[in-house]
């Protein structure tokens, strides 16, 4: 890569990895040692929320209930996110491996992969890889089994408790929290639920050791991360990069020379306008992201972008709570009315209040995060909302 700050890494996609050996050495460790190694690495969940992975494992391990589960969340559906598909396609064994190490650490016998319905074409290959994996586990006398469960086209099922509901045969409606999955997850049993990328990184930490992983990134955002890059860019695709770069550095590498905004973290993430590129770090100290990076150049109407996002949320809201179900619709109708001149521009402030209310009162991350894109687009591109 031309840009010095942007360190391209190749931790997870490299094919030559002695899979069995990594698994073996992890299995020789005690459960505490596994969790401590992971804690030492500083790995945070790669789905966007950024909870320390080791703590999730630790809390689940500490539960007295002997029946526990490992669930791999392969239901990525955030617009602009497509990295998990590539990981599952290229290195599925490492995902299974991460699950097996987690199973050892927490004492689980069963694991599940919840694969989004849109990725059904991956199923056949994944199942045949799983056979190979299970054979290896048998050979190593590891009593652990993984099953794949298919989703049916619902973005909200990426939310962990909605995902459990769906696995149990119900509508994918988020549960009240607490209790958290570490206490009551799948079948109301203690469950570790990690996304695909988190599990791969967990596995790689046992290959390279926590120290190597920790050397990458910043104090708040350790390691590297897979980014999915789309929109107005000459280089759309999937890249594994070190954490800690600024949006400006990112744009230098991936922009088309006319980037006016970058949406970091998908439709539920934040829109960073050009004037803030320099000061915005991609990571937990700046804008956190599950990896989706969408670039927009000057030819794009940010009204259309926001409108498209709101259409998305309106349709994907599970409908369980009013602030989100009604709020999404009203935000969409509201910006349409301002655009058409049916409402005065001041009305945008009302809408911002509504978004703020959703942030506070919506039951789950979907309704709470609508405000992220809403505020960051409306505030930075006000004229485009009005004229």
With beta carbons less than 8 A apart as the criterion, state whether 199 and 102 touch. yes
Reading the block at residue 293, the tokens are 């990076």
- Please choose which of another protein, ligand SF4, none residue 44 contacts, taking the beta carbon within 5 to 8 angstroms, the exact cut-off set by kind: none
Residue 366 binding ligand SF4, by CB under 6 A:
yes
The rounded distance, in Å, linking the Cα atoms of 60 and 68 is 8
Torsion over CA: 107, 112, 114, 115 (sign): positive
According to the binding rule CB under 8 A, does residue 322 interact with another protein?
no
164/213 with CB nearer another protein? 164
* Least separation in angstroms between CB 26 and another protein: 30
203 vs 254, beta carbon nearer another protein: 254
* Smallest distance, another protein to C-beta of residue 82, A: 4
- Token pair recorded at residue 190: 């203690």
The option from ligand SF4, another protein, none interacting with 344 (CB < 5 to 8 A, set by class) reads none
Q: Considering only residues 157-176, where is the footprint of ligand SF4 by CB under 6 A?
A: 174
Compute the distance between CA of residue 21 and CA of residue 291 in angstroms, rounded to an integer: 30
Residue 222, phi then psi, degrees to nearest 5? -80, 145
**Cβ-contact 111, 72 below 8 angstroms:** yes
* DSSP 8-state secondary structure symbol assigned to residue 49: S
> Exactly one of 44, 58, 68, 85 binds another protein (CB under 8 A); which one?
85
**Within 73-209, where are the H helices?**
83-90, 92-106, 123-139, 160-167, 196-208
Q: Does residue 367 bind ligand SF4 (CB under 6 A)?
A: yes
In the complex, residue closest to ligand SF4 by CB: 367
> What is the DSSP secondary structure assignment for residue 276, as one 8-state letter?
G
For residues 43 and 200, which CB has a smaller minimum distance to another protein in the complex?
200
By CB under 6 A, tell whether 319 contacts ligand SF4. Answer: yes
Closest residue by Cα to residue 373 from 270, 289, 264 = 270
Using the rule CB under 6 A, is 80 a contact of ligand SF4? no
Question: Which residues in this chain contact another protein in the complex, by CB under 8 A?
Answer: 76-82, 84-85, 116-121, 150-155, 166-172, 228-232, 236-238, 267, 294, 300, 304-305, 308-309, 311-312, 315-316, 318
Chain residues that interact with ligand SF4, rule: CB under 6 A: 156, 174, 317-321, 324-325, 362-364, 366-367
């Amino acid at each position: 890569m031309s840009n010095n700050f942007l360190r391209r890494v190749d931790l997870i996609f490299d094919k030559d990895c002695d899979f069995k050996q990594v698994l073996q050495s992890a299995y020789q460790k005690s459960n505490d040692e596994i969790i401590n190694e992971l804690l030492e690495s500083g790995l945070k969940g790669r789905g966007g929320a950024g909870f320390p992975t080791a703590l999730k494992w630790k809390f689940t391990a500490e539960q007295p209930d002997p029946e526990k589960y490992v669930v791999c969340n392969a239901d990525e559906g955030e617009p602009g996110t497509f990295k998990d598909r590539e990981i599952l396609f290229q290195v599925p064994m490492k995902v299974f491996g991460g699950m097996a190490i987690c199973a050892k650490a927490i004492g689980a016998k069963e694991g599940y992969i919840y694969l989004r319905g849109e990725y059904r074409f991956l199923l056949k290959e994944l199942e045949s890889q799983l056979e190979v994996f299970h054979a290896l586990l048998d050979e190593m006398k590891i009593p652990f089994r993984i099953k794949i469960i298919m989703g049916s086209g619902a973005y909200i099922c990426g939310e962990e408790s909605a995902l459990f509901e769906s696995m149990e045969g119900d509508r994918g409606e988020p549960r009240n929290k607490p209790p958290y999955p570490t206490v009551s997850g799948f079948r109301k049993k203690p469950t570790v639920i990690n996304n695909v990328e988190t599990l791969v990184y967990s596995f790689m930490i046992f290959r390279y050791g926590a120290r190597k992983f920790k050397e990458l990134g910043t104090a708040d955002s350790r390691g590297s991360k897979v980014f999915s890059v789309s929109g107005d860019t000459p280089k759309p695709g999937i890249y594994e990069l070190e954490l800690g770069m600024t949006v400006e550095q990112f744009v230098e590498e991936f922009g088309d020379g006319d980037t006016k905004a970058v949406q970091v973290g998908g439709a539920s993430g934040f829109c960073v306008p050009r004037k803030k590129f320099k000061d915005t770090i991609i990571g937990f100290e700046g804008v956190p992201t599950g990896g989706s990076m969408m670039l927009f150049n000057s030819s794009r109407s940010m009204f259309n972008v926001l409108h498209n996002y709101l259409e998305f949320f309106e349709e994907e809201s599970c409908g369980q709570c009013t602030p989100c179900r009604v709020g999404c619709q009203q935000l969409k109708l509201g910006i349409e009315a301002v655009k058409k001149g049916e409402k005065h521009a001041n009305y945008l402030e009302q809408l911002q209040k509504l978004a703020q209310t959703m942030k506070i009162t919506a039951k789950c991350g979907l309704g709470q995060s609508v405000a992220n894109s809403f505020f960051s687009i409306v505030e930075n591109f006000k004229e485009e909302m009005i004229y």
